[in-house]
Amino acid sequence: MPPVAPGNVRVLRGDARRLEGIDDASVHLVVTSPPYPMIPQWDSLFARLGAHDYAGMHRVLADAWAAAHRVLVPGGILAINIGDAMRTIDGEFRLWPNHATTVTAAEAAGFRSLPYALWKKPMNRPNAFLGSGFEPPNAYVTLDCEYVLLFRKGRLRRLPPHDPARAQSRYSRAERDRWFSQVWTDIRGARQGAEGRRTAAFPAEIPERLVRMFSLVGETVLDPFVGTGTTLLAAARWGRNAIGVEWDPGVFRGLAQRGRALGWEVVTPSRPGARVGRGVRAPPRRRSGGTGAPTG
C-alpha cells in the first residue's frame, strides 16, 4: 500500500467541453481516456453530442482539450489514452488516426507535445491478423497498441527546493526505468469487469502510473471523461485529490452509487453553487435542451 493518506474525491455530473464549476488553473494533472471517434461503440453517444462524422467527433474532443487547458495550472500535464480506429465507410476500409488528430487539436488548444508512450495491449488472439492467407499485398498490420499522449501547458512547473511533497512522491529506480520507456509492455490488466467492458474502462495500472509520474501527493487530478472512475481510485490511493466529470446520465448514476459507498462527494447540477472543494464549484442549473447539455 502507498505510505500516504488517501485523497478526497468529487464526482460531477457535467460536460468535459465546459468543465463548469472547476476554477481556472486549479488542477495539476489531467488523466483521461475519451470516447474514441469511429469506434462503433461510441457512435450513439457522439450523435447525442451532435457529432456524426470523424471531424465532428474530434470537434467534441477539441473543446474538451481547450477546457482542460483552462483548468490546468501553468506547467500542468494532460495525459490522453486514445487508440486509432479501423473502419469501413462507404465500402472503403481505412485507419482513422485518432492519435494524430488529437495531437493537432491539443496543440491548437495551446498545449505543447511531449514524448508519448505506447501501451501494448495484451491480445486475446496474439496473432490476430486482418487478411487472408500469406500472399501480399492486401493484409493489414494489427492495431495492438494504444497511445498515451502527453502534453504540457506552457513551461516546466516551478517547485520550491526540497519540497516535502515532492520527496513523498518519489518512485523507485525500477519504476522509473519501466514507466519512462516508450513502449509499455507490462500493463497486466485487461479492461475491467462487466461494467468496465461496457464503458471501456482502462486498466487501473495506466492512471496509477500517470498519477505517480506527473503529480505530487496532495495535488489535484482531473478526469473529464471519468466513466467508472478508474482514475479517481488510482489518484486517491496515491494521496492525490481527484475530480471526475461524467456526462452520460446512466454512467453517472453508476459512478455516483459506487462513489457514495466509498465516501466520495457526488455533485449534480441540481445543487447549484454547492462548493465541492478548493477551486471547485458545482455547475449552475441548466435549462434542458441544447445539444450536449447535461440532461438531468
Ligand X SMILES: C[S@@+](CC[C@H](N)C(=O)[O-])C[C@H]1O[C@@H](n2cnc3c(N)ncnc32)[C@H](O)[C@@H]1O
Q: Which residues sit at the interface with ligand X, rule CB under 6 A?
A: 15-17, 33-35, 45, 49, 199-202, 224-225, 227-228, 230, 245-248, 251
Decide whether 216 or 233 has the Cβ nearer to ligand X.
233
Residue 279's identity, in one-letter code, is G
Q: Residue 189 has which C-alpha cell?
A: 490488466
Decide whether 157 or 191 has the Cβ nearer to ligand X.
191
- For residue 4, the minimal CB distance to ligand X (Å) is 22
3-state DSSP call for residue 113?
strand
Residue with nearest beta carbon to ligand X = 227
Q: Are 103 and 149 in contact (CB under 8 A)?
A: yes
Candidates 140, 36, 56; CA nearest to 96 is 36
Decide whether 189 or 218 has the Cβ nearer to ligand X.
189
Q: Across the strands, what pairs with 244?
A: 11, 223
Cα–Cα distance, 280 to 208 (Å, whole number): 23
Torsion of CA 7, 9, 15, 18, to 10 degrees: -50
- For residue 14, the minimal CB distance to ligand X (Å) is 7
Q: Are 232 and 223 in contact (CB under 8 A)?
A: yes
Q: Across the strands, what pairs with 118?
A: 147, 183
Decide whether 224 or 239 has the Cβ nearer to ligand X.
224
Decide whether 142 or 192 has the Cβ nearer to ligand X.
192
Residue 27's identity, in one-letter code, is V
Candidates 245, 246, 255, 268; CA nearest to 45 is 246
- For residue 94, the minimal CB distance to ligand X (Å) is 22
- For residue 46, the minimal CB distance to ligand X (Å) is 8
Angle between helices 54-71 and 98-108 (to 10 degrees): 40
- For residue 92, the minimal CB distance to ligand X (Å) is 26
Cα–Cα distance, 245 to 10 (Å, whole number): 9
Q: Residue 54 has which C-alpha cell?
A: 470523424
Decide whether 45 or 165 has the Cβ nearer to ligand X.
45
- For residue 209, the minimal CB distance to ligand X (Å) is 14
Contacts of 165 (CB under 8 A, 6+ apart): 216, 217, 218, 219
- For residue 140, the minimal CB distance to ligand X (Å) is 24
Decide whether 17 or 28 has the Cβ nearer to ligand X.
17
